[in-house]
Structure 1
Amino acid sequence: MKKFSLIVPVYKQEKTIKANILSILDVLKTITVPFEIIPVIDGILDNSEGEIKKIKDSHVHVVGYKNNRGKGYAVRYGFAHAGGDVIGFLDAGGDLKPEALLVMLAQFEFQDADVVLGSKRHPDSKVDYPTYRRILSWGYQQIVKVLFGLNVTDTQVGMKLYKRKLLEDVLPRLLVKHFAFDIEILAVAYHLGYRKIYESPVEINFFFSKTSMVWSKLFRVIYNMITDTLAVFYRLKIKRYYDNASKRKWRFDPELNFRINVG
């Protein structure tokens, strides 16, 4: 590994994002390779960008755009600004302890991985998670295993590392911008021959309130996750949409600085 880039999609996190980035910075300063942290402001809707800019450290490079476009676009936007040969993303918010990145990076190098996934179901994970979320997560993973044949126990934790070459091959093909973005990356990567996918332990303290978006939009989120996932399956297994030989509609995105798949 010559350089590590960590993308942090940020959406309305002005109250917590500065502390969040500082905690990540403290962890990554213990590694021996050059690194950068790239917070991506997914829509300028509050003062998240201003809070991050208070951090005067050359490792932190905040980027972003005016309108909210979803996590999938934010990760692709961050990739366009990343210089690492290993590139990861970590969800903002503080639920995930960034110390897990150290184990993931060591595992990535030791196993010459294509992908390392943070996993709630790894035996060494420490997870403070509501029962209903555990049930929903387990059910979704059964669907993923049946549809895509991925031999992993958890695809939805917002902490993942990828080889740069994998992202160069996969990201321009993707269509999902919101709910099933994580599984679209993994399913397409696996389909294209990137099979060295490993899971790594994480520590999660789930911050939860009954007035949160999780409660108010729970059924809509479930519906969108399932429909997006089925759409990925249809494109992958039936339409063969992601195949190298498949004819796709390409458009050059000047913000991303590469061609993207638009349908």
Structure 2
Amino acid sequence: MKTAHPSRAIMTRSLIRSLIRLIGLLVCLCALAGCGATRTAPERTLEKTPFRTPVSHVVTAPQAEDEAEQRKMKNVSLLAVNDPAERLNRTIYTFNAKLDRAVLIPVVTGYEAVVPPQLRSGIANGISNINEIPRLANAMLQGDPSKCGIIVARFVINSTLGIGGLFDPATKLEFYPQNEDFGQTLGVWGVPQGPYVVLPVYGPSNIRDSVGLAGDMVFAYYQMEYLYELAEIGDRDTARYTNTVVRGVNTRAGIPFRYYTMDTPFEYEILRFAYTKARQLESER
């Protein structure tokens, strides 16, 4: 029977001891790795001192508010308009909204409930036909013969075939309305829009359009005075009051916009941007 060589036996025992040490080292490393993977609160390993600050990876409320505010400012910047009197304009905007809900919308609702649709359409057409005169004046001031021709054609057709403007056959003949006003005329002359403003009752405007509105109101006043004279109306005060009320109700009934119905916190900014861009395009066309 052969016996193992002494040197080979020594080598075998040395290899076994090395393997045992290696296995033990691996076990220790695995234990340390397991502890490191399950530890979620590193502050628990720190000594308790009055200067220790809790460690957390959760976004704090101030950070969330800052991010929301940044998103809000980014959205608002996309709708930026020159509005230096924004605080005052927002106050007037709120006043207009309350007036609209408390007075104008109930009046319009009652008007639509009492007056038949055909009669409402006739009233709107008649007012529009009267307004062809100031439209023609503005088209002439703008130096646009094409618009002048269309406006004259509309007035003649609707005043005759449309029975004094109660009907609108001109539109069916493809003579479409040319909504010209003095604010657009000033724009054609090169007058800039100026800062955005909100007018009481009237709503969105700017400096140029506010001046234009005043000019249109003066023109309309003297136009109606001339018509009262032609119609030999004696009670001018009643005629003026009736004209103002009917025009106001008709105008509001023709505007589908309702305050605070956009379901967005940026209604003021959206309306301001839309009005400004629309007026810019109307002056450029």
Question: TM-score category by the smaller chain?
Answer: under 0.3
Q: TM-score, normalised by structure 2?
A: 0.21
Q: Which has the higher strand share?
A: 1
TM-score (norm: length of structure 1): 0.23
Specify which structure has the higher proportion of helix. 2
Larger gyration radius, structure 1 or structure 2: 2
